[in-house]
Amino acid sequence: MKKILLGVTGSIAAYKAADLTSQLVKAGHSVTVVMTRDAREFITPLTLQTLSKNPVVTGLYDEKESWRPGHIQLADEADLFVVAPATAHTIAQLANGLAGDVLTALALATLAPVLVAPAMNGKMWLHPATRDNVARLTDRGVRFIGPEEGMLACGYEGLGRLWPVEGIVARITEMLAEGERPGPEIV
């Protein structure tokens, strides 16, 4: 059983995190969902808690039972950190090393491989700032899957849809099989 952190951000595609969580649990993985405040506007923590069979992390101060910061322990124990869906805002935070919420703090603290599955308006995805942020993260070893083309929630047709859940699960399986833990060398 591998420990997967699943970051869910404030995209209309957040509802697909339920299917992703369910499929990963059925595959025998332990999934801990980490939600941004905006993600909770699209799907409830209770749904993801029920499917993951683990408490959902929604804030930096959720841990009340230990002196040890819960987000650091989660970061240390993770075999893989997945952000699906990932908004342009979250990608920008990750690229700039910002840790203003529990999801970005975990991303900054973990040495586990990171997989990002973007979902946003196509113009946002193609904007030079987003392209630069993706390039910066890719240079640091973060992997991306998607987005794909299709009808977007905003009514436009084009690039920006969350990659199909089955494809995300397949990529997760590949990354876990690699067993690598690239991260910054700590001296």
- What are the residues whose beta carbons fall under 8 Å from the beta carbon of 123, sequence distance 6 or more? 156
Quick check: 15 and 41 in contact, CB under 8 A? Answer: no
Q: Identify which of 55, 52, 58, 53 has the alpha carbon closest to the alpha carbon of residue 21.
A: 52
Buried (b) or exposed (e) across 59-77, using 16+ Cβ within 10 A? ebeebeeeeeebbeebbee
Does the annotation count 154 as an active-site position? yes
Choice among 154, 156, 166, 180 that is catalytic: 154
What CA–CA distance (Å, rounded) separates 172 from 7? 14
User: Which stretches within 27-101 are classed as H helix?
Assistant: 45-52, 70-77, 88-95
Name the CA radius of gyration of the chain, rounded. Answer: 15
Q: Which residues are identified as catalytic?
A: 154
